[in-house]
Amino acid sequence: MAENIGNLKRTHNCEALRSKNIGEEVVLAGWVQRRRDHGGVIFIDLRDRTGITQVVFNPEGNKDVHEKAHNIRSEYVLAVKGKVVPRPEGTVNPKLPTGEIEVLVSDLKVLNESKTPPFMIEDDIDIAETLRLKYRFLDLRRPSVAKGLIMRHKVSTSVRNFLNGEGFLDIETPMLTKSTPEGARDYLVPSRVNAGAFYALPQSPQLFKQILMVAGFDRYYQIVKCFRDEDLRADRQPEFTQIDMEMSFIDREDIMAMAEKMMARIFKDVLGLELTGHFPVMTYDETVTRYGLDKPDIRFGLEHVDLTEIMKGCGFKVFADAASKGGIVKAINVKGGATLSRKDLDDLTAYVGNYGARGMAWIKVTESEWQSPIVKFFTDEEIGRIKELTGAEVGDLLLFGSDKAEVVNESLGNLRNELARRLKLVDADTYSFLWVTDFPLLEYDGQTKRHVAIHHPFTAPLDEDLSLIDSEPAKARSKAYDLVLNGNEVGGGSIRIHDQSLQQKVFKLLNISEEEAGAKFGFLLDALAFGAPPHGGIAMGLDRLVMIMSGVDSIRDVIAFPKTQKAACMMTEAPSQVEPEQLTELNLSLNIPKKED
């Protein structure tokens, strides 16, 4: 039977007591981590989110209390009153911060019993994630899991303190808002009072924060949920949290400086690390050329070497064709990689296959020869050029990609990361930020056969590329910037268009008709026409940032109640069917296609 607290109000948490507390009468409350019943004396490790204290039931003390303690099991909830005493000579536990003392119990209340938990509440256990998520309330009792949420709290606290100090205002924006074209798939919410009409959950507060700038709130922030109905990954959940900010009367270097200062503050407050100097800045073109990806991890080398020019007329048809027909040929020199086995190479070939590469040529540089299936196709001069450009030395491994530029860059870019993982080229505790700037304004979407905005349609072009908007829009670059941390995109933003005519011009480029622009973004165009200040901002992915800072591989580990890959919550079993009456009230009917047999 569960007892009420009564007079046993706790005086300390389970990590608080030390030798200096010896002699004090204290009350602790928490969960039973473990019981060691010796028939006579009974030890219980009492746990709360701060730590563990050993409490002792001695039969020579209170008989009733000792009797009661026999029935205690794992995860029972206890309040104990007792005296802090030193542990007897030789029984100090150096593994526990509280290991020099124990609490000799004089009064006990079993605040609640517990069923035997489906898994043990401790770190370093190996359990299926689906079970952890179903019993998330138990999983979250494990210190390593709680640690992620505690760190998340520290990060958001640090962010608020910093931005409040810099004069930013925390202003909430609607969760029930308007569906807009472009971007990700919206989560829709039917309107009961407007039959047939829908709200959308925000993909980000983008337009609202711009409107707030027009309204004169020249420094805004919000730690806010965003929703995108797209497929999940280890670093993507359908609802996620952004540190969203926007400033007026600034240019991009001001936003970048502010974001850097904020990151420095977060790392200082939360990890005690000093981030010194400015974050390096690299243009989009440079990242793609050197690393293949626009979010390179710059903690290790393995940079790409472009061999397109020298392969144009070579005897290896695959390379020659790619090089002369608009594609590219690139190589990575894996220093000391000649020790990789044939199986390793097969694995890596399969790996680049994920990104559309149809193969992966390689050359092992050994004392006696260039060992490779393709080296026989090259002239001595070509081999010399390859050697020169890649810096190949004895013991190295050269890996090649040849195809359309996107395929080569994507596959070799990801291969580079994979090699670093396999060869353990990075120290897990290092943090390396990078700004990526000068993104193209537009990209061509082969599916819809039109240009779409790379960042979003409100991103300003670079000043020097303004004239390209009319002549060669595909070449125009934007005032967008991404913040990359250890190869992960943790933030992105831009200077926005604050001129109504330029905004209309960009909509036109994106094949958004005047009518459509008016219908979907009329309020923004309106606002821009009423004295919009120059403005811009950035949004940081809180989940990803905390994931990296806490050294875990999935944002699920830093979200209290995350969803599985099918966007389901194992605990609540959301999403679920609803009563027909609810649908009727919303003027909805279901039309679920039958599966074909």
Which residues 5-34 are close enough to bind RNA by CB under 7 A?
Answer: 34
Q: Is 583 in the site for RNA (CB under 7 A)?
A: no
For 40, the token pair is 């006579």
Minimum CB–partner distance for residue 122 and RNA (Å): 9
179 interacts with RNA by CB under 7 A: no
Segment 37 to 56, residues that bind RNA, using CB under 7 A: 37-41, 43, 45, 54, 56
Tell me the window of 86-94, 256-264, 515-523, 577-585 that interacts with RNA (CB under 7 A). 86-94
Q: Cβ-count burial of 25 within 10 angstroms (0-12 exposed, 13-18 middle, 19+ buried)?
A: exposed
- Please state the φ and ψ torsions of residue 190, each to the nearest 5 degrees: -70, 145
Residue 90 found at the interface with RNA (CB under 7 A): yes
Please, which residue, 208 or 316, has the CB nearer to RNA? 208
Contacts with RNA, 207-246, as mask; x by CB under 7 A: ---------------------x-xxxxxxx----------
The closest of 398, 324, 389 to 361, measured between CA atoms, is 398
Residues ≥6 apart with Cβ < 8 Å to 262: 159, 162, 163
Per-residue b/e over 39-62, b at no fewer than 16 CB within 10 Å?
A: eeebebbbbbbbbbbbbbbeeeeb
Estimate the crossing angle of helix 405-422 against helix 284-291, to 10 degrees.
60
Size of the site for RNA (CB under 7 A): 71
SS3 347: helix
- Residues 13 and 15: their CA atoms lie apart, in Å, by 6
Residue 195 structure tokens? 């039959």
Distance of closest approach, residue 27 Cβ to RNA, in angstroms: 19
Nearest CB to RNA, comparing residues 93 and 500: 93
Considering only residues 273 to 292 of the shown chain, the ones binding RNA according to CB under 7 A are: none
Least separation in angstroms between residue 315's CB and RNA is 31
Quick one: 337 or 562, whose CB is closer to RNA? Answer: 562
**Residue showing tokens 């070799």:** 412
182 CB-contact burial (10 Å; exposed 0-12 / middle 13-18 / buried 19+)? middle
Among residue numbers 125 through 154, which ones bind RNA (CB under 7 A)?
125-131
| Measured torsion, CA atoms of residues 458, 463, 467, 468, in degrees rounded to the nearest 10 | -70
The minimum distance between CB 365 and RNA, in angstroms, equals: 30
Q: Is 183 one of the binding residues for RNA (CB under 7 A)?
A: yes
DSSP assignment letter at 187: P
For residue 579, CA distances in Å to 200, 588, 589, 592 come to: 22, 12, 12, 16
Interface residues for RNA in 545-574 (CB under 7 A)?
Answer: 554, 556, 564-566, 568, 570
Q: Restricting to residues 441-480, name those near RNA by CB under 7 A.
A: 447, 452-457
What is the CA 397 to chain-centroid distance, rounded?
Answer: 32
Judged by beta carbon, residue 83 or residue 312, the one nearer RNA is: 83
Would you state the structure tokens that stand for residue 500, as one six-digit string? Answer: 């109504």
Q: Site map for RNA, 110-129, x if CB under 7 A?
A: ------x-xxx----xxxxx
Is residue 376 at the binding interface for RNA, with CB under 7 A as the rule?
no
Quote the tokens at residue 331: 């190589």
Cβ proximity to RNA: between 45 and 403 the closer is 45
Residue 131 or 223: which CB sits closer to RNA? Answer: 131
Chain positions 313 to 342 lying near RNA, rule: CB under 7 A, are none
Beta bridge mates, 478: 461
Nearer to RNA, 158 or 222 (CB): 222
